[in-house]
Structure 1
């Protein structure tokens, strides 16, 4: 059997997600983390500019973990250099950026994947397998709400994105996958107030009504002003109603509860956890899938075209929220 060389990976962006990617990648037996941009991570070489990292000749692939609005230029540059690309969600924050990234990726023939890691949550993957039992999708609902810690403390660029870009991107990808369909029209509303009053120009909450090409509908709710006393940082729930049944997915409680003098919590473990010193969970599994695809030249489960469609839905939703009118997708 032919032995494949290790995949040399550079990480562009060394914040929370960059450190998460580094933890998973350094533990992978077939990966060598060789370069990072700006901030040191392990023993990898540090480059002050992502362009220098891409041109260094020390990487076969890049992992892009920068703020949402910076992804496109980095993907285009990496693709033109012949590098494989793993990018955090959302793919981009404009359709024009998404289209030029897809074009560059397909022209270069590199492997690329947006890290919509929810497809690797066991219950969600099982739901995909069970969709035939509930029949043709009719209506769905996906809620993903964060505590106010996220836009005020966890990320410093909340005014460059929104709760919908940050949260509903996951759910739009997930329901589109479960439905095996594409959104063709949206109507959305946004509420400003609390965060604006704190000097952060971004909506407190958004709700998106989406119609799919075969007639099914779905509601995508996102907010990030839950009080920090809420027992989980994220409140996540999904339901899909079909002609013959219903699937419900409640991810708030993840099989462990902890009570201390400081409060009551449900520690998260489905996406990211460490088991006996080894990274595990859907986040790790999704990154490993990309590594396998990049090493073998196999197309990932998540196509860049489907990730472009998520961007198109969210761009239309923000336009609808601005105008108060429904928006059809091209």
Structure 2
């Protein structure tokens, strides 16, 4: 017996992340990719290709959209999708300005659609377990989150690195994770940015940023991001999180994910917590987060990640960039 999908999906953004979203939706038993914007996708061979996102939304062929455009282009698509009455899954960061975040949230809440920013780290098993263990370590005191990329990312993987920063691209994950673990909001930030290597290669974006954040209940956290690691580094991403509380500490090191591979070309730790394929089926935290969105869209329920919490991540990072520009602390 054939079961019809309950959710028709449109993919807006056909780059690396668009292909990742399409792979998950194509394998989900309750979804069908019916439309894509601008160009075909391998995992959506039967989908209609529309010249842009507005034409896709006007077609009436989708119940939800997956927005995987570059960071700075999310807001207009979310507002248009909300006005069209379709559910919204958007890649992180939610937006790159507070004004854009505010108009996206307003449009989403006015329309009553289900919307979620894909901060998929909340579905990494160790991170989810850390959330459950936070009570055991007492009131949060201090935290540190590092997410650094190899230089391949801003110079070859992304064609729009000068439209974003390592903090928007990388620390957005960690800011969402830490505010979730602390169950608190940031009230003040101080940040510094270092320019040089990437500017020397014609890409006007910081090599690295470091953000110190103070939370409402008094805890502090440092967020480090950089994307100039040499490509010889054994993983594309170097990721580490620690939280110390009044009665304990949690450490989360994702440098090694249970497999090591040595070949004549080098030594590597293949990543598998976020995205992997097991016996031909997509698996991992990335898939689990998208499946959560599908469940919420079908049921009409609020996702684990609210658009308001994602707006707060945008506000924190916007304040951090202002602090890096002025050299002064910025209150939220």
1:111 matched to 2:114? yes
Distance 2:77 2:160 in 1: 18
Q: For residue 34 of structure 1, what is the aligned residue in structure 2?
A: 34
Asked whether the equivalents of residues 147 and 234 of structure 1 are also in contact (C-alpha less than 8 Å), the reply is: yes
1:156 aligned residue: 159
What is the deviation of 1:317? 0.2
**Cα offsets for 1:23-58 (capped at 9, x unmatched):** 000000000100000110222110011100011000
Matched, 1:324 2:327: yes
CA RMSD of aligned residues (A): 0.8
Aligned to 1:83: 86
Q: Secondary structure at the match of 1:18?
A: helix
Q: Kindly report structure 1 stretches of 4+ aligned residues shifted beyond 6 Å.
A: none
Counterpart of 1:58 (choices 47, 58, 61) is 61
1:69 paired to 2:81? no
Aligned residue for 2:211? 208
Q: Secondary structure at the match of 2:128?
A: helix
Structure 1 length-normalised TM:
0.98
Paired residues of 1:4 and 1:295 also in contact (CA < 8 A): no
The runs of 5 or more residues in structure 2 that have no matched partner are: none
Match of 2:234 among 231, 239, 243: 231
Aligned-partner SS, 2:223? strand
Match of 1:8 in 2: 8
What is the aligned partner in structure 1 of residue 291 from structure 2?
288
SS at match of 1:194: coil
Give per-residue Cα distances to partners, 1:131-173, cap 9 Å, x unaligned. Answer: 0000000000000000000000000000000000000000000
Structure 2 counterpart SS, 1:253: coil
**In 2, distance between residues paired with 1:13 and 1:4?**
25
Aligned-pair CA distance for 1:4: 8.8
When normalised by structure 2's length, the TM-score is: 0.98
What is the total number of aligned residue pairs between the two structures?
Answer: 327
Whole-angstrom CA distance in 1 between matches of 2:187 and 2:276: 37
Identify if the C-alpha distance between structure 1 residues 250 and 5 changes in structure 2 by more than 3 Å, giving closer, same or farther.
Answer: same
Per the TM alignment, residue 5 of structure 1 is displaced from its structure 2 partner at its CA by 5.2
Deviation string 1:245-278 (CA, Å, 9 cap, x unpaired) is 0000000100000000000000010000000000
| Structure 1, gaps ≥5 residues long | none
